[in-house]
Amino acid sequence: MEILYIDKFIELKRLQDFLSTIFPSLTVFHYDFKGDEPKGFDSSNERHIIFNLTHKETLKELSIELTIFRTPKVNEEERSLFIGKKLTKHFNIRVMIPVIDPLGHDPYMSTLFDHENVYIVDDSQWEMENVIGSRFTFQESYCYPDFNFDSAGNLLA
């Protein structure tokens, strides 16, 4: 499962098409877990993945949570970074990914893709309501290795 936070709502069809483009061997469905499953979705088919968007009203920045379910259970962090990098460029949005800090600071560090720039940010104030100004403290720029995935979402060596 991948969890990413974005700063602008993306139309569901556009997001579905985007995910289908980067993982063309997978069939992508939007499902908010309310009501019936999407038409054509088969929970026994490992190539059927689900995404949903949730607006976190208490968050002032990056308040839309994109969750992707049913992707391979390994390399989820790398896949999140791969998707985040492509999302920020394709949709011209900011994307934050709560990942293990590659610099070893502490557990409140996340990766922020801000168009062409990538930062390690302290997000310890992110979910607090009474913070004035930005909820992130930029620690430093960072350059992740370029991860590559196959059409079914598996990390390539």
Model confidence pLDDT, tens digit, residues 82-126: 999 999 999 999 999 987 656 665 666 788 898 888 888 876 665
Q: Where are the beta strands (DSSP E) in 56-143?
A: 64-69, 94-97, 109-114, 117-122, 137-141
With respect to residue 150, please indicate whether it lies within any of the assigned structural domains.
no
pLDDT at site 132: 43
Work out the percent of the chain whose per-residue pLDDT is above 70: 83
With respect to residue 147, please indicate whether it lies within any of the assigned structural domains.
no
- Count of domains for the chain: 1
With respect to residue 157, please indicate whether it lies within any of the assigned structural domains.
no
d(CA 50, CA 41): 9
Asked if residue 47 lies in contact with residue 152, where contact means CB atoms within 8 angstroms, the answer is yes
Which two three-digit tokens encode residue 40?
């054509």
Say yes or no to pLDDT of 45 above 70.
yes
With respect to residue 149, please indicate whether it lies within any of the assigned structural domains.
no
With respect to residue 152, please indicate whether it lies within any of the assigned structural domains.
no
Please name the residues in contact with 131: beta carbons below 8 A apart, sequence gap of 6 or more: 60, 125
Predicted TM-score of the model (pTM): 0.87
Work out the percent of the chain whose per-residue pLDDT is above 90: 61
Find, among 74, 66, 45, 49, the residue nearest to 155 by Cα: 74
Q: Where are the beta strands (DSSP E) in 43-116?
A: 48-55, 64-69, 94-97, 109-114
Say yes or no to pLDDT of 131 above 50.
no
**19-23, 26-30, 118-122, 136-140: the lowest-pLDDT one:** 136-140
**15-19, 66-70, 98-102, 124-128: the lowest-pLDDT one:** 124-128
Cβ atoms within 10 A of the Cβ of 119, count? Answer: 19
Mean of the per-residue pLDDT values of the chain: 86
Q: Name the residue range of residue 84's domain.
A: 2-141
With respect to residue 154, please indicate whether it lies within any of the assigned structural domains.
no
Find, among 112, 88, 87, 85, the residue nearest to 98 by Cα: 112
Burial profile 13-35: b = 16 or more Cβ within 10 angstroms, e = fewer: eebbebbeebbeebbbbeeeeee
